[in-house]
């Protein structure tokens, strides 16, 4: 297929695709009313207050991992605190 043929095919498909999309987005009246109500509620709700974010201390860093007497891994944390 040449590029011109592909372009012509795409142009011919546009009305069909628009029709399919229009059919797909039709809502029953009850659902459309609920969606409209939800949109109004979102627009009418008061703005959210911004809270000050309190910085959390960083977790201790593991500097190395050693093995204990039983062969288990034991993390050793950085002492700089």
Tens of pLDDT, residue by residue over 44-64, are 877 778 788 888 888 889 999
- Listed residue (50, 33, 51, 29) closest to 41, CA to CA: 33
DSSP state of 19: H
Confidence of residue 80 (pLDDT cuts 50, 70, 90): low
Written as six digits, the tokens of 49 are 């207050």
> How far apart, in Å, are the Cα atoms of 49 and each of 52, 53, 66, 67?
10, 12, 47, 50
Stretch among 35-44, 52-61, 63-72 having the lowest mean pLDDT: 35-44
pLDDT of residue 44: 81
| Three-state secondary-structure class, residue 7 | helix
């Amino acid at each position: 297929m040449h590029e011109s043929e592909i372009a012509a095919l795409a142009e011919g498909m546009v009305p069909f695709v628009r029709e399919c999309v229009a059919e797909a987005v039709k809502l029953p009246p009850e659902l459309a009313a609920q969606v409209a109500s939800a949109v109004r509620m979102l627009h009418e709700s008061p703005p959210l207050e911004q809270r000050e974010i309190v910085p959390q201390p960083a977790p201790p860093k593991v500097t190395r991992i050693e093995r204990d007497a039983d062969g288990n891994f034991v993390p050793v944390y950085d002492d700089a605190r």
